[in-house]
Structure 1
Amino acid sequence: MNQLTQSRKIFSSLCLGIAMTLSSTVTIGADDRPNIVLILADDLGYSDLGCTGSDLYQTPNIDAFARDSVKFERAYTSPTCSPSRAAIMSGKTPARLGIVGHGGLRSMEGGGDFLVSEEYTVAEALRDAGYSTCHIGKWHVGTKSVTGPHEQGFDEVIASNDFCCPGSYFYPFRDKRKTGKAAERSAVPDLEDRHPGDHLTKCLGEEAVDYLERQKASDKPFFLNLWYYAVHTPIEAQRDKVAKYKSLIDPDSHQRNPSYAGLVEHLDDSVGSVLRAIDNKGFRDNTIVIFFSDNGGEIRKGVTSNFPLRSGKTSLYEGGIRVPLLVRWPGVTRAGETCQEAVVGHDLYPTILRMSDVKGHADQNANMDGVDITPLLRDPSASLPTRAMHWLRYGELIHYPTYKNDREFGPCAAIRKGPWKMVERYPTPHGLEHRFELFNLHEDPYEAHNLAREEPAKLEELRRDLTAWQTEIEIPKYEDLAYPAFEKLK
């Protein structure tokens, strides 16, 4: 048993006072330490908000929040939900965690938990430092009773199922057409007292408001992890919202799905209710609010458009990995400022530690890939030390049939370094060839011009850097792990 696992067992089995006596890995500050609310949307694309350029969706509450916050124009994440969520909770790139597909696929046959219990999560760090912790909504980085929210640091867990999405957004929040294990995994628990017609997204906001009300009587700071299922499939919205957007669609619009537009509005309504509760219950001046998305918008089957960015969810082009990020830190951030520096989801863990003055665990901190971005919150014109960002997506057997010969969404790796981005597209047994693409994002943010032939020296530099990173994280090579599994499929 390693030192990190031992420390976690100590924290779980002893009361906080004894734990603080025996361990120097956490810091308890004064009662005025900031509360933290992390709001994570699911599949919300970069262009899905009014404040980020939507030509259909109306998001007045989030837009107003953006005007009070620092908006990051170049915020990155993973191309699918489970890797991005694991990165937020651990401060590490998904590939370092062994996640090179949609979930915890440590072998192409599946198996393995999404986020192993040895990871000392940001929720554990805050809880062990005296924070009240609550997770509401989608988890999808582990299984209940093994690596679920309770096991990974949350005192309270509400409406969290064991699947990627709800059976339905309408009460009773299950797919009535299905039975058995799949139906049970996708059913959303803890909301049995709701009524026919109730929308899940509104209910999650109500649960968050109730949690905030309970914290008024507490002398502990809190960490509210509000991870919506919206706007992931199934694309379901109330009829009046769908009708509203049907009447607003312009034939020249890039975004033309009225049901998705209605679901985005449900999300905005719910986020607005939580933000108002933070104000009305007296928490605003001492509560940091972070709004983020787990990956780019789903563009297949006409769900949404990430225009002007290229592609969408599951792709390593900008539309798949670049998302909205808004941060309001009272007394620190200045309203309406914009930051152009590139940041990424696993930066949130070390940033939250700095914001809350919590030390965390030395072992976890030493092995994080994320960096503290509080200097950018204090001064959005500041710069971080030069670094490369890496992505690795070998794919997974369950979804392989949908991209086995699709050039846009097939397995690939990518590196972003300064203005340069290289995408290495992996071959498949069913038609995709090995190739490289090179883009200068400062001159070509839409990735329209492949410069691989024109810039051979830069291409070779990034190829070496990407290979060195893959060697450093000790991930099996694509041709050794994924290709043999794909080859077996008819």
Structure 2
Amino acid sequence: MNFKQKYFRLPILKACLLAAGLLGVQVASAQKKQKPNIVLVLVDDLGFSDIGPFGATEIETPNLDKLAAGGLKLKEFYNNSICAPTRASLLTGQYQHKAGVGFFNNNLGLAAYQGFLNHESLTLAEVLKSGGYTTLMAGKWHVGDDRNQWPNQRGFDHFFGFIGGASNYYEIGEKGTETVPLVKDNEPYFLEPGKYLTEEITNNALGFLDDQQKAKKPFFLYLAYNAPHWPLQALPADIAKYKGKYKLGWDSLRVQRYRNAIKKGLIGADQKIAAHDDQVKPWNKLTYDEQAYWQTRQEVYAAMIDHVDQGVGRLLAKLKELKQDENTIIIFISDNGAQGGNGTRPYTQRITGPVGTAGSYETQNSNWSQTGNSPLRNYKGAPYEGGISAPFIAWFPNKIKAGTIAKGTGHLIDLAPTFYELAGINYPKQLNGITSNALAGKSLLPLLSGITDTVQRSVPLFWERGGNKAVRWGKWKLVSPAGLTEKYELFDIEKDRGENADVAAQHPEVVAQLKAAYVKWAAENGVVDYETLKTAPARPAQGNNRGNQNF
């Protein structure tokens, strides 16, 4: 038996037929009467264990708890490690390079690195709209700065939010000097002083749902919160809930989260927590004042997550009010793991003010982020599990079995084929005269229906961003960190989700096969060597808009 046969087997015919027979048939039958609504909730820089269903019992997330208890959680769901590349894959069902956002939302002079979505990569909104859906978005865009690349120009009927990669949560300027650069359906929008952006994102999303009901059509809502991405700013009432909750410190809390993950069935009891980051100072080595300062930072971060959960609760209430709750699937994910780094982030708009207030501009750091990503290794931007794996929750009343936990091994590229199958839409080979890129992922319906506990693939999953490379196939994961020429690490994820033991030396044949698979994938997707790429000057964004900052 060769490597491919041993570590990845195609589903047997019986499983295929069953997959077509349960959730698929239910959905097909329902489509004759009414197509399901689709809600995709994306949060920003949320770590693997930063919400209740995945281990953060000290953060109040009752609505996410409800979705998880009434639906399905995946142990292994992958993203692209950082904001813009994740959004490119999420919105198109393509690997980020194929969609044009190989590095970030800046133009590096090659088609795979142009910094915005190409037209061959159809967006969820474009395809679902072609199938009779109203398409709505509220929140962060970050996959095209110029006006002709904005959401309304890429298939969304209505959009409220910001175009770039980050924003203040409070407006601290006057009209004409806004520090929260918002857009609503292509027009500038002023956030009134005192209003909180997370709340306004929810408000506009629910307003879109109210208006949409007049159309008598199914809807797709992309609710892309920027919380808990920096700057750390939250409502005082939310911050007050968490006063004193972080006295135990980051070292104890990361172990507590690890144990919670075991109790919740997200990792095996034989799995070890990722090795402690030696760049993070032990909590018991801090002074009293230092501990007080860092507690405050985490209190604000928790409050930001809390308010997102409140928004999810309002969404559920609105769906029930509109009598759409029984016909709506909700998917909840994060764009990457929690952010690493040590220190505050310098920023041109920064002004003085206590952390959490409109005047502050603090970031999340490796210390608490190591806790947020627990029990996984490393942070946002890295090819390790803490960078590319985050929570996944799916909720669909009477369609997805309540309380399900599955292995998953899903990826962002799997959501587009899942949504199109649910909607009964054939992915168009051409749209508006342009030949479209073929979808790269697999439908998750067999997984959501319980027919299988993992996505059945005939090829591995791949990552590249900024020189960081990874390949996942079966239990194996190959990692090549940026800046370390020809260094390859191999991990057995089934035994070592914390990526503590590099077994490359023991399995050279596996390393060789995954390296060869990566080379083939890179050529097919326009991936080039980053050491060569980064010497080329970035091209500035064209045009004049309110969201062309690169974060």
CA RMSD of aligned residues (A): 2.7
Residue among 310, 328, 333 paired with 2:400:
333
SS at match of 1:468: helix
Question: Which structure 2 residues correspond to residues 40-51 of structure 1 after superposition, within 5 A?
Answer: 40-51=42-53
| Residue in structure 2 matched with residue 53 of structure 1 by the alignment | 55
Quick check: 1:165 aligned with 2:217? no
Cα separation, 2, equivalents of 1:426 and 1:295: 18
Matched, 1:437 2:434: no
Contact residue 101 and residue 112 of structure 2 kept, 8 A: no
Encode CA deviations 1:234-286: one digit per residue, 9 max, x unaligned.
Answer: 11112232233231112322385111011111111111111111112210111
Q: 1:426 aligns with which of 482, 486, 503?
A: 482
How many pairs align?
430
CA distance in 1, matches of 2:479, 2:191: 47
Question: After superposition, what is the alpha-carbon deviation per residue over 1:198-225, rounded to whole angstroms, capped at 9, x for unaligned?
Answer: 2211121122222222233331111111
1:55-110 deviation digits (Å, cap 9, x = unpaired): 53221111111111111110101110111111111111112234332335443999
The answer on 1:318 being equivalent to 2:385 is: yes
1:150 to 143, 149, 152: 152
Cα distance in 2, alignment partners of residues 382 and 269 from structure 1: 30
Look up the match of 2:223. Answer: 226
Bigger Cα displacement from structure 2, 62-71 vs 298-307: 298-307
Distance verdict in 2 for CA 1:485–1:422, change over 3 Å:
farther
Separation of aligned partners in 2, 1:80 and 1:139: 13
Please give the secondary structure, in 1, of the residue aligned with 2:149.
coil
1:5-404 matches, cutoff 5 A: 30=32, 32-107=34-109, 112-158=114-160, 160-166=161-167, 168-170=168-170, 172=171, 176=173, 186-190=180-184, 195-249=192-246, 250-251=248-249, 252-254=252-254, 257-300=298-341, 301=365, 302=367, 304=369, 305-362=372-429, 367-379=438-450, 381-383=452-454, 384-394=456-466
Distance 1:477 1:124 in 2: 32
Code of the residue aligned with 1:330 in structure 2: it is P
CA offset at residue 345 of structure 1? 0.6
Q: Is the 8 A contact 1:426 1:434 kept in 2?
A: no
Cα distance in 2 for residues equivalent to 1:215 and 1:221:
9
Write the deviation string for residues 301-320 of structure 1: whole angstroms up to 9, x where unpaired: 24532110011111110011
8 Å Cα contact 1:57/1:261 also seen in 2: yes
Q: CA deviation at 1:162?
A: 2.3
Separation of aligned partners in 1, 2:206 and 2:98:
36
Contact 2:340 2:378 in 1 (8 A): yes
Aligned residue for 2:358? none
The CA distance in 2 between the partners of 1:156 and 1:416, in whole Å, is: 37
TM-superposed deviation, 1:365: 7.0
Distance 1:365 1:435, change over 3 A: same
What are the superposed Cα offsets for residues 419-451 of structure 1, whole Å, 9 maximum, x if unpaired?
Answer: 110111233xxxx55411111101111001111
Q: Which residue of 1 aligns with 2:508?
A: 456
Q: Distance in 2 between matches of 1:72 and 1:110?
A: 30
What CA distance in whole angstroms lies between the structure 2 residues aligned with 1:344 and 1:70?
Answer: 15
Following the alignment from structure 2 to structure 1, what is the Cα–Cα distance between the partners of residues 438 and 68?
Answer: 32
Q: Which amino acid aligns with 1:440?
A: D
Deviates more, 1:310-319 or 1:467-476: 467-476
How big is the shift at 1:156?
A: 0.8
Q: Contact (CA 8 Å) 2:100, 2:118: kept in 1 or not?
A: no
2:215 is paired with a residue whose SS is coil
**3-state DSSP class of the match of 2:223?**
strand
Amino acid at match of 1:424: S
**Structure 1 stretch displaced more, 383-392 or 98-107:** 98-107
1:398 match: none
- Aligned equivalents of 1:149, 1:70: Cα separation in 2: 29
Task: Give 1:329 shift.
Answer: 2.4
Q: In structure 1, what residue type is equivalent to 2:162?
A: N
Distance of aligned partners of 1:424 and 1:113 in 2 relative to their CA distance in 1, 3 Å threshold: closer
The structural deviation recorded for 1:360 is 2.5
Q: Which of 451, 466, 473 does residue 518 from structure 2 map onto?
A: 466
Q: TM-score, normalised by structure 1?
A: 0.81
Q: Alpha-carbon deviations, 1:326-366, whole Å to 9, x = none? A: 11223321111111120001110011000010113125776
Change over 3 Å in CA distance of 1:361–1:30 after alignment to 2: same
Cα deviation for residue 386 of structure 1 reads 4.0
Unaligned stretches of 5+ in structure 1?
A: 1-28, 395-410
**Counterparts of 2:305 and 2:190 in 1: how far apart (Å)?**
25
Measure the CA separation in 1 of the matches of 2:169 and 2:88: 24
Partner Cα separation in structure 1 for residue 492 and residue 92 of structure 2: 30
Q: Give the drift of 1:114.
A: 1.6
Q: CA deviation at 1:144?
A: 4.5
Q: Which of 469, 478, 481 lines up with 1:413 in the alignment?
A: 469
**Structure 2: distance between partners of 1:348 and 1:110:** 21
Change in CA separation of 1:484 and 1:121 when aligned onto 2, cut-off 3 Å: closer
Taking CA–CA contacts closer than 8 Å with sequence separation of 6 or more, which of the two structures ends up with the larger relative contact order? 2
The question of whether the paired residues in 2 share the 8 Å contact of 1:132 and 1:155 is answered with yes
Q: Distance in 1 between matches of 2:521 and 2:189?
A: 47
Per-residue CA distance 1:17-48 (angstroms, 9 max, x = gap): xxxxxxxxxxxx65611111111111111111
User: Do the aligned partners of 2:133 and 2:219 also contact (CA within 8 Å) in 1?
Assistant: yes
Letter in 2 for 1:371: K
Change in Cα spacing, 1:365 to 1:388, as seen in structure 2 (3 Å) is farther
